[in-house]
């Protein structure tokens, strides 16, 4: 009788052990799936013969998977990046792709200090590609312990890339340092993360009180733009500037 009971106890122990092993294998398998849950590949879309839209991807707590836009303007086979991709790896991929098209990458500008605009600065610096930001953006990068751009500019308006690019500071909004980039030859305004369509997004460093007036500055100066490119979401027209002002005004009422 005792032998039968001992045998049953052994069988029960074996079943429990098997269940535990199966559970552990399931957890390991799930972790393996998550480890392989890589970000989408960098996207590069041709807007016209001399202008490209690059889109990279990040995951943000509270926002999930986020696509971030940037541009590349080309002039006489020389290329200039407007906002780096959101990682050093994707920045490298973009530069490699551009070189594969026969372009020489002359530099980049980051429109503010957040990673979705500036994450590639260190890689570009290490590969002797000129990097540009506002003096304030460089200070913010330094405050965060991140690598600074090699070149800075001050003032409300600056011209780069043989006057192909105008950098304009409309005032604080998404961040205190956000600038936009005007491409007069193309009639395209890169609004970066300052420009919003459906919601204001990350407000961690936002200056909500000043955002509506800053948006009006853009409407007044670039209301004739044929295309507006936001930092996140689809390209559009000047209605994106108006939606930015409306959203900022609504946020001010709530605050």
Residues with active-site annotation: 112, 114, 116, 174, 202
Residue 160 has a CB neighbour count (10 Å cut-off) of 20
**In this structure, are residues 81 and 94 in contact, taking their beta carbons and an 8 Å threshold?**
yes
Q: Could you give phi then psi for residue 224, rounded to 5 degrees? A: -95, 5
* Side-chain half-sphere exposure of 5, counting CA atoms within 13 A: 2
Q: Look at strands 78-82 and 104-109 and give their pairing.
A: parallel
Comparing C-alpha atoms, which of 179, 215, 217 is closest to residue 196?
215
DSSP state of 28: H
Token pair belonging to 24: 């552990």
Q: Which residues contact 125 (CB under 8 A, 6 or more apart)?
A: 131, 147, 149, 150
């Amino acid at each position: 009788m005792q032998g039968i009971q001992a045998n049953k106890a052994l069988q029960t122990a074996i079943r429990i052990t098997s269940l535990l092993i199966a559970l552990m294998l399931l957890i390991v398998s799930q972790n393996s799936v998550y480890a392989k849950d890589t970000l989408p590949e960098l996207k590069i879309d041709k807007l016209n013969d001399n202008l490209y839209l690059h889109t990279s991807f990040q995951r943000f707590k509270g926002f999930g998977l986020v696509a971030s836009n940037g541009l590349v303007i080309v002039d006489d086979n020389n290329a200039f990046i407007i906002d780096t991709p959101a990682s050093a790896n994707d920045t490298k991929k973009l530069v490699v792709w551009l070189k594969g098209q026969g372009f020489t990458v002359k530099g980049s500008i980051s429109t503010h200090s957040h990673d979705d605009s500036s994450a590639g600065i260190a890689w570009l610096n290490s590969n002797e590609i000129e990097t540009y930001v506002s003096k304030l953006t460089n200070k913010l990068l330094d405050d965060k312990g991140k690598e600074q751009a090699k070149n800075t500019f001050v003032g409300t308006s600056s011209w780069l890339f043989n006057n192909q690019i105008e950098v304009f500071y409309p005032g604080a909004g998404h961040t205190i340092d956000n600038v936009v980039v005007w491409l007069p030859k193309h009639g395209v305004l890169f609004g970066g993360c300052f420009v919003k369509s459906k919601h204001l997004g990350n407000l961690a460093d936002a200056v909500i009180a000043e955002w509506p007036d800053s948006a009006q500055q853009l409407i007044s100066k670039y209301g004739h733009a044929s295309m507006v490119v936001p930092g996140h979401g689809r390209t559009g027209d000047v209605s994106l500037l108006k939606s930015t002002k409306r959203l900022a005004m609504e946020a001010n009422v709530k605050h």
